[in-house]
A and B are shown apart, each in its own frame.
Chain A
Amino acid sequence: MADASASGTSSKRKSLFQTLEVDTRLLGMVGAFVVVCLMFNFLTDGRFLTPRNIFNLTIQTVSVAIMATGMVFVIVTRHIDLSVGSLLATCSAMMAMTQTAILPGLGLDFGSPLIAPLAILVGVATGAVIGAFQGYLIGYLAIPAFIVTLGGLLVWRNVAWYLTNGQTIGPLDETFQLLGGISGTMGETGSWILGVIAVIVAAVAIWGARRARIAHEFPVKPIWAEFALMIVAAVLILGLVATLNAYEVPERVLARQFEAQGLTVPEGYTQGYGVPYSVLLLIAVAVVMTVVARKTRLGRYIFATGGNPDAAELSGINTRMLTVKVFAIMGVLCALAALVASARLSFHSNDIGTLDELRVIAAAVIGGTALAGGMGTIYGAILGALIMQSLQSGMAMVGVDAPFQNIVVGGVLVLAVLVDIVYRKRTGAK
């Protein structure tokens, strides 16, 4: 039982990546993403990696990515949620009806600043209640999640239909639409400030992790490696901000904006869009979910239950209630995704979120969430969503037929899992 060697410090020659101690799995995903981007950029003669397309890519990814973070928790606890697309539709319908019919009926005028927050509140509550209800059926009544949410897939899609009588509801409230993507961005200055804050946070986090490891007597990487990581993080963050800022508001839109204030556009004036509010929301969700996963009891219990449900139960964890909480979180995230998705369209439509359950599950799985439970990361799921969306939009830009696009996406999903299995066998990870 003697075991003096602390995790892998003994090997003398280390590769660069080992020295940097970056997660090779993450590296693989980033690598795949870069390859996809470069390939499409080549096939589209450079149209794929333009600021405009990158901007669109990010705002198209947000809705699925938000839900994928919740799906990580669901899959980690050895469940599945097939109802997220339909739940998104019900939440979207509730929010649309609240702002166009119910609140105006209660005497709130169109354009009132209260409409958007109230509508969002109703949507989030709807998601939480429906999610918790499904969680109750799964946790307390022991109906398999697959069945409950398969039923939910049909039920909530059609509840949404009844809520709106099958009509398209719109246009949605102006403030509400700010979270749709292009209709609400932070502008260049705001985006730079955000970028700088993010860089500082990343640097502090990297440094804090190092100090924690020293305090715990775990081996640390050389100082230069820490700084290299900080620089990589800074370049990535600021590069993204610069790219989003480089996408300029078209002249006619600018002209309209200035006209509305009784002004004319000055000669040579340009304005970049910057970071969309919806992306800001995704970042917030990602941060909160990561903190929950790593730093709270709830997160600890989610992973423990996924790793060994019996052990969790014997340790006094109320695994039934945990299931309710996990599905309630999933419901809330569906509501936020519904907010982004309907705001982007500027209306609620019946088919909103159709097939999203598959995209969301695929994103989580491509992002390294193990269906056997107990393993998964929030950032992985977001990256998975980004990879899926890049594939889809890239193929659309190249002019691949829609049916063939789906064939490729399906194939990639299976391939990604196969690669993951092989990778885990090689590295000996479970």
Chain B
Amino acid sequence: MVDRSGTPLVEMRDISVSFGGIKAVDHVSIDLFPGEVVGLLGHNGAGKSTLIKCLSGAYRQDTGDIFVNGEKANIENPRDARDYNIETIYQTLALADNLDAASNLFLGRELTTGLGFVNDAAMEAETRKIMGRLNPNFRKFASPVSALSGGQRQSVAIARAVYFEAKILVMDEPTAALGPQETQMVAELIQELKKDGLGIFLIDHDVHQVKRLCDRAAVMKNGELVGIVDVDDVSTDDLLAMIIAGKKPEHLAA
């Protein structure tokens, strides 16, 4: 059981984001505790990615505040988010296709030699190590990532997020392109990171996976938060009903 008595690792309070006329995120509040995995569910276009992008620094919320460890965090760009130890696996993966896996993994945080030049050898060695844990079949260290399969690309994006010892991990559909074995490895990885006390936001369309991996599930519909429930209190059918009908199951409704 996750201990939710202390200060939350992350608290997003009353976040709203609109694009022109569309309210992509409409007054959503959500929190995350150390060692907890919170699943985010919702139909396509519900606003899940937009919400977590405020935490990653990719977007700036119109209203609302973000607190990290109880203190108000001013996240204006992805660099700020990294300073708060927030790492993100984007739905679009955010890889530079023309660079190889190691260059992508260390993009923005290159290892350098004493003279200040990028240390490709060291970065590649590290990449081999982490990829060995995530996806042992991965061999294409010399090719640009454009030459990788969808799942291989996703592995690179996951490796990048977990390599830098994040405290808060945001995973936007991390297993969408993965095969069963690789999905299983990511599931194990999530359990491992959870034990280390990380907080993880996991966006996923698979309610079974959410029920298996997450402690709580937050459901969004049309930019609004339908509710946050303990996964042990609901069935997968309840979750589906929340996603589709946008209503909390009756036995939990206040």
A interface list, Cβ under 8 A from B:
1-7, 212, 215-216, 218, 291, 295-297, 300-301, 303-308, 310-318, 374-375, 430
Contact = CB atoms under 8 A, between A and B. Distances in A.
B249 interface: no
Contact of A297 (B110, B124, B144, B152): B110
A5 B94 CA distance: 26
Contact of A300 (B118, B138, B141, B143): B118
Given A3-B140, A218-B142, A311 B94 contact: yes
B179 to A, nearest CB: 6
Contacts of A314: 56, 58, 78, 88, 90, 94
Nearest to A219: B142
A301 B108 CA distance: 8
A212 B119 CA distance: 12
13 contacts: A1-B179, A216-B141, A300-B99, A303-B96, A303-B98, A308-B95, A308-B98, A312-B108, A314-B88, A316-B79, A317-B107, A375-B98, A430-B144
Contacts of B56: 314
Contact of A308 (B97, B110, B149): B97
B8 interface: no
A295 B88 CA distance: 27
A174 to B, nearest CB: 37
B121 interface: yes
A315 B151 CA distance: 20
Nearest to A294: B118
Contacts of B142: 6-7, 216, 218
Given A1-B137, A311-B94, A316-B78, A295 B107 contact: no
B94 A316 contact: no
B103 interface: yes
Nearest to B58: A314
B107 A315 contact: yes
A297 B103 contact: no
A343 to B, nearest CB: 33
A307 B97 contact: yes
Instruction: Output the residue of A310, A311, A312 with the most chain B CB within 10 A.
Output: A311
A314 B103 CA distance: 14
A315 B95 CA distance: 9
B137 A374 contact: no
Contacts of B116: 296
A311 B144 CA distance: 15
Nearest to A318: B79
A312 B118 contact: no
B91 to A, nearest CB: 11
Nearest to B177: A1
B135 interface: yes
B149 to A, nearest CB: 6
Interface in B83-104: 88, 90, 92-99, 103-104
Contacts of B79: 316, 318
Nearest to B107: A315
B98 A307 contact: yes
Contacts, number: 109
Contact of B124 (A216, A305, A308): A216
A67 to B, nearest CB: 24
A23 to B, nearest CB: 14
B137 A430 contact: no
Nearest to A308: B96
Contacts of A295: 117-118
A4 B139 contact: yes
A301 to B, nearest CB: 8
Contacts of B93: 311
A1 B135 contact: yes
Contacts of A308: 94-98
A280 B110 CA distance: 32
B94 A315 contact: yes
B110 A300 contact: yes
Q: Which of B58, B96, B121 has the most chain A CB atoms closer than 10 A to its own CB?
A: B96
A312 B110 CA distance: 13
B82 interface: yes
Contact of B107 (A7, A212, A311, A318): A311
Interface string B108-126: 1110100011100100100
Given A1-B152, A3-B137, A314-B58, A296 B94 contact: no
Nearest to A374: B98
Given A296-B117, A300-B107, 20 more contacts: A1-B138, A1-B178, A3-B137, A4-B137, A7-B140, A7-B143, A218-B142, A296-B116, A300-B110, A303-B96, A305-B96, A306-B98, A307-B97, A308-B97, A310-B92, A311-B94, A312-B96, A312-B108, A314-B88, A316-B77
Given A310-B92, A314-B94, A304 B78 contact: no
A297 B117 CA distance: 7
B53 to A, nearest CB: 9
Contacts of A301: 108
A310 B117 contact: no
B173 to A, nearest CB: 16
Contact of B103 (A304, A317, A318, A375): A304
B146 interface: yes
B6 to A, nearest CB: 29
B78 A315 contact: yes
Given A216-B124, A300-B107, A313 B98 contact: no
Contact of A313 (B78, B135, B143): B78
B107 A312 contact: yes
Contact of B99 (A3, A4, A303): A303
B117 A215 contact: no
Contacts of B110: 297, 300
Interface in B148-206: 149, 151-152, 155, 178-179, 181-182
Contact of A430 (B78, B97, B151, B155): B97
Given A2-B137, A7-B143, A296-B118, A304 B152 contact: no
